[in-house]
Structure 1
Amino acid sequence: MLAADPTLKCVTCYARISFDGRVKDAHGIEDQHRGMTEEARKLGWLVVYRYTDNDKSASKESVVRDDFEQLLADLATGTTPEGYPIHGVMAVNDDRLYRRPSDWERYLKAFTSHEGRVYHDSNGVQDLYAEGFEIKGLVGVAMSLSETRKKQRRTRNSHRSRALRGQSVAAWRPFGWEDDKITLRPEEAEAIRQAVKDVIAGASISEITRRWQKAGFITSRGNPFQYQTVKQVLQNARLCGYRAIKGELVRDGDDQPIVGEWDAVITPKQWFAVTAKIRERGGSGAGVPRGGLVHKYLLTGILRCGNVLEDGTTCNGKMVGIKANDWLRYEHAYTCKGTVDGGCHKTYKRGDKTDDIIEKLVIKKLKKEAASKAKDVPDWDKAEALKRAVNSRNELERRWHDDEDTEIDDETFFRNLPVLERRLKDLRADRRNHEALKAEAEAAKEDIEKSWDSKTLTQKRTAIKKVLIAVVAQPGGKGNKAFDPELLKPVWKTSE
């Protein structure tokens, strides 16, 4: 075609959209390419390559636009990846190509690295080689950046205003609610309630994740639940009817949390307790399971070998759970590790009966201690201090904004504000911890024996470790002898 018409312009088209919507069908990108192809036909140009960055922002430095980078590289070499010449570039608008000065400078340098190229956007054919066009482009970028920041600021203000009115601002249907984002979806809401209760009682996020996956629950975007998404659900202030922006509760003028228009799944007390539990375990990190190994058998590492060695010392090696042989009437057992692993391999205990004996002893011990643990936590005694701190901050801001009051200048205001804000933050944190203690105290009032069977393995192990240091298992001797519970010696924790 070039041999037949040396004046033919071989051009590339670049299309980009920041947000592809919920459907993710790339219809916006298709519309851009369709429009540019029609314009190229009118101009007698031939489209030889299409660059596409779908669902990617051009104003965020952290976002890498792969096809934009490829376009710059191809402009520098002068050909497309297939080897076709590049005589020009088309875009529906210049802000599709660049929104930051650095990108504009890089694009202009790559474009003008070869002579005679054409550029077309919504303003028609542009001469990027013209004197002063670089400055003109920078002005356009500055205006684009200004408009982007205005939109972001309006979005943030709108978001916060709606939050202060208690309106739902979720873009997607939150897990636990119907499509109206207000009414609860019963099955999901009940799963959240049970998860919150279990995490407060010691269950791990990993266990909740496996439970939800097994039940077939999916996220609002149609994906299976992972550790991170489960943690996000349980830490969301929406669960108790509150709104949070960047981790901080949205409050009214009296420092009270704004209550939203949607139905709450749990109480504020439960939410404070579950978020406190997650933070204790390092749950504010990168969203990966943390903590100790999740064991398969109840007493692994808790049982200690009590076999007396030839030198008169006790083995004291940690016993581990193992799968029992198929011909036995029980499914698992506990055994001391081999000598290469620091054990003596002389003690073996039937798993089901060992578990049953220790569980009954622990339940009895927990019931005995429940009375003291279940005492009502007294009311938070710093409510007045918090009220005074709020009033002080509000008064400081009022006097600073009051034009007639010359006592508070900018320097005085900004010197005193951080002190008051820090005081407020400390008091609110203290209140959260207090609410968590109250929730745990109420949980201690439940029927321990009745609720034991519904606990997860991690919860049971946590409860056992609260009252037991270890269980010394003495060997039963040679031969097939009856199970003897007297050979299990619990070592209880003392108050000290």
Structure 2
Amino acid sequence: MDGMAHATEDSLIPVASYARTSQDTPQGDARGVRHQHRINERRAREHGCVVVATYTDNARNATKDDRERPGFDHLLADLHRGHAFTAGPLRGVVAVADDRLYRRPEDLVRFMAALTSAPGRVYVDRDGMRDPYSKACLLQGVDSLQEALAEGKMRSRRLQDWHWSRAMDGLPHSGPRPFGWQEDRQTLHAVESELVRKAIEHRVTGGSMGHVAREWDALGVTGTRGGRPNPQTVTQIITAPRVYGFRANRGELLIDPDAGKPLIGAWQAIVTPERWVEVCSTFSAGSLYMHRGPLSPRLTDRKAGPKYLVSGFLRCGECDQLMGGGKSSRSRKSPYNYMCASGRGCGRCAISGPLVEEAVEMLLFPTDGQGRVRLPEPMRQRWLSGEMEFEEKRKVIASVFTHLVIRPGKKGCGIWDHSRVVPVWKWADRVEAAGPAA
């Protein structure tokens, strides 16, 4: 294993232990990842290594590309750096199996690039110590990836079939309790169902969802997961087929094969089925429950997803609510702004869109090279040259920042103030206290 690190009688090879589970135990005690780290420590000792740093992703799926794995991202950053902040140098990785580290081709490439970014690295798994620089190790990784992909597809098909079969029996979904029903998902919740019924009547008579959202918020109403009501969630609730007794699955209304009519669910409806068409006709195509989400067809040619680079990452410095983007007709320099919407937030904070994105770029790629994070040089070149696509830029932002706080501006100030953009870094305990953009 040329180029690999070797343990001596006086020292052991310092390695990082990585553990991941897709789901936590019902008790929420992270037992699975603890067991993996214990196994990793034993295997490290057996092969002349010592675990000096641990990286954990508990209850984190590695199959879907929209799932964040902060532990994995932190491991790769430290491997590129060659050093764990408090533990010292890193010269390898130990994991119980390849599929704990990667289940997608992109993650395999990222992991191997980080692991072999410096000479003398090792990789330890259930089969022992492997040479990450060898062709055999790479082929073994590809084989493990193919097995993981096949297993993931099989599980996905089984799960989809299970949900479809339940839906065809008219049974409610197995997710969180829907707003308007009790925990059994069949009996109406007296207060919530009445709120939904009134919201439907309000909409049919020409009312707005913003008015309903503000009214619910004033009453202290929250969603079944604790979120505050907003026009989007209210729209989703009142256009959901289950409100009218219908059963849907994966964005499609299910049809009874015998009767040729929409399938009726085994729960109490809030209003009559005839009301559904009437309510849906008041909304524009593409905004309804049946046409939402990545798995659902859309009625328009408009591509779903954020329009502005940092949408979903900004929080108001006054009320801590998310800020949305919108066009501006008042300034040529700022064709769009990010704003804290009144009703959902305080409505008192707004900032130029280009200003924010310029500040984010300065935080990611400081001109003096002395920023809080050090991203790979090829990434910096692709970003600054314009070669990096919109979605990839958002993934870079998501991998570095938890969110960014926008401080209130000064009225009448005619210059751009980058210090209004205050980053909240991921793994803040590993990074020195962050200040505003320079």
Instruction: State the TM-score, normalizing by the size of structure 1.
Output: 0.52
The C-alpha deviation readout for 1:24-51, integer Å capped at 9, x for no partner, is 7755444544553455466664322222
What pairs up with 1:82-121 in 2 under 5 angstroms?
82=86, 84-121=88-125
- The AA in structure 1 aligned to 2:83 is T
Q: CA deviation at 1:70?
A: 3.3
Alpha-carbon distance in 1 for matches of 2:108, 2:8: 35
Q: Which residue of 2 aligns with 1:172?
A: 176
C-alpha displacement of 1:76: 3.1
- 1:200 alignment partner in structure 2: 204
Question: Shift of the alpha carbon at 1:250?
Answer: 0.7
Question: 1:79 — aligned with what?
Answer: 83
Contact 1:241 1:259 in 2 (8 A): yes
Q: Which amino acid aligns with 1:110?
A: A
Q: In structure 2, what is the equivalent of residue 270 of structure 1? A: 275
Q: Among residues 186, 189, 199, which one is paired with 1:182 in the alignment?
A: 186
Question: Is 1:228–1:287's contact at 8 Å kept on the other side of the alignment?
Answer: no
Deviation of 1:169 after TM superposition, in Å, equals 1.7
C-alpha RMSD of matched pairs (Å): 3.2
The amino acid of 2:53's aligned partner reads Y
Contact 2:77 2:114 (8 Å CA) reproduced: yes
Distance 2:66 2:285 in 1: 31
Higher share of residues assigned helix: 1
2:419 corresponds in structure 1 to none
Deviation at 1:149, TM superposition (A): 0.8
Task: Show the counterpart of 1:228.
Answer: 232
Q: Deviation of residue 282 (structure 1)?
A: 5.6
Equivalent in the alignment of 1:151: 155
User: Given the alignment, which residue of 47, 50, 60 partners 1:46?
Assistant: 50
Q: Which amino acid is the alignment partner of residue 199 of structure 2?
A: A
**Which secondary structure does the structure 2 equivalent of 1:142 belong to?**
helix
* Pairing 1:260–2:265 present: yes
1:448-467 correspondence runs (5 A): none
Q: CA deviation at 1:222?
A: 2.3
Answer yes or no: is the 8 Å Cα contact 1:235–1:275 preserved in 2.
yes
SS at match of 1:261: coil
- Show the 5 A alignment for 1:60-75: 60-75=64-79
Deviation at 1:238, TM superposition (A): 0.8
SS of 1:279's equivalent in the other structure is coil
Q: Which one-letter code corresponds to 2:266 in the other structure?
A: E
Deviation at 1:62, TM superposition (A): 3.5
* Distance across 2 between alignment mates of 1:173 and 1:277: 26
Partner letter of residue 11 of structure 1? V
Q: Which residue of 2 is the match for residue 488 of structure 1?
A: none
1:279 and 1:75, CA in 2 relative to 1: closer, same or farther beyond 3 A? Answer: same
- Closer, same or farther: CA 278–131 of 1 in aligned 2, 3 Å: closer
Deviations 1:420-474 (CA, angstroms, capped at 9, x unpaired): xxxxxxxxxxxxxxxxxxxxxxxxxxxxxxxxxxxxxxxxxxxxxxxxxxxxxxx
**Residue from 138, 143, 147 that aligns with 1:139:** 143
Q: TM-score, normalising length from structure 2?
A: 0.58
Larger Rg: 1
Gaps of 5+ in 2: 1-6, 293-303, 307-438
Amino acid at match of 2:262: P
Provide the rounded CA distance (Å) in 1 between the counterparts of 2:225 and 2:265: 23
1:321-400 correspondence runs (5 A): none
CA deviations on 1:320-373 (whole Å, 9 max, x unpaired) are xxxxxxxxxxxxxxxxxxxxxxxxxxxxxxxxxxxxxxxxxxxxxxxxxxxxxx
1:260-299 paired onto structure 2 within 5 Å? 260-279=265-284
Alignment partner of 1:128 is 2:132: yes
Give the corresponding residue for 2:242. 238
Q: How far did 1:249 drift?
A: 0.4
Aligned counterparts of 2:32 and 2:282: Cα–Cα separation in 1: 44
Question: 2:25 and 2:231 mapped to 1: Cα distance?
Answer: 26
Inter-partner Cα distance in structure 1 for 2:27 and 2:179: 18
Which deviates further from its counterpart, 75-84 or 144-153?
Answer: 75-84
Q: Write the distance in 1 (CA, Å) between the matches of 2:276 and 2:49.
A: 62
Hey, what's the Cα distance between the residues in 2 that align with 1:145 and 1:113? 26
Distance in structure 1 (CA, Å) of the matches to 2:278 and 2:61: 38
Change over 3 Å in CA distance of 1:25–1:178 after alignment to 2: farther
Q: Aligned letter for 1:219? A: G
Which residue, out of 17, 20, 30, partners 1:16? 20
Q: Is the 8 A contact 1:227 1:287 kept in 2?
A: no
Which has the higher mean CA deviation after the structures are superposed, 52-61 or 95-104?
Answer: 52-61
Q: Tell me the number of residue pairs that the alignment of Structure 1 and Structure 2 aligns.
A: 287
Conservation of the 8 A alpha-carbon contact between 1:231 and 1:287 = no
Distance 1:198 1:27, change over 3 A: farther
Displacement of 1:280 in angstroms is 6.9
CA contact (8 A) 2:18 2:56 kept: yes
Contact 2:52 2:87 in 1 (8 A): no
* Percent of pairs with identical residues: 38
Distance 1:218 1:287, change over 3 A: farther
Code of the residue aligned with 1:255 in structure 2: it is G
- Residue 239 of structure 1: how far off its partner (Å): 0.8
Secondary structure in structure 2 of the residue aligned to 1:99:
coil
1:108–1:281 CA distance, 2 compared to 1 (3 A)? closer
Higher relative contact order, chain-length normalized (CA < 8 Å, sep 6+): 1
Partner in structure 1 of residue 61 of structure 2: 57
Q: Are the structure 2 counterparts of residues 29 and 277 from structure 1 closer, same or farther at C-alpha, using a change threshold of 3 Å?
A: farther
Partner-residue secondary structure (3-state), 1:119: strand
Contact (CA 8 Å) 2:130, 2:137: kept in 1 or not?
no
* Structure 1 residue 173, shift from structure 2 partner: 0.9
Task: Give, in angstroms, the shift of residue 147 of structure 1.
Answer: 0.8
In structure 2, distance between residues paired with 1:211 and 1:92: 52
Residue pairs, 1:383-422, within 5 angstroms: none
The residue identity in structure 1 corresponding to 2:274 is K
Q: Which amino acid aligns with 1:274?
A: V
User: Structure 1 stretches of 5 or more lacking a match?
Assistant: 289-496
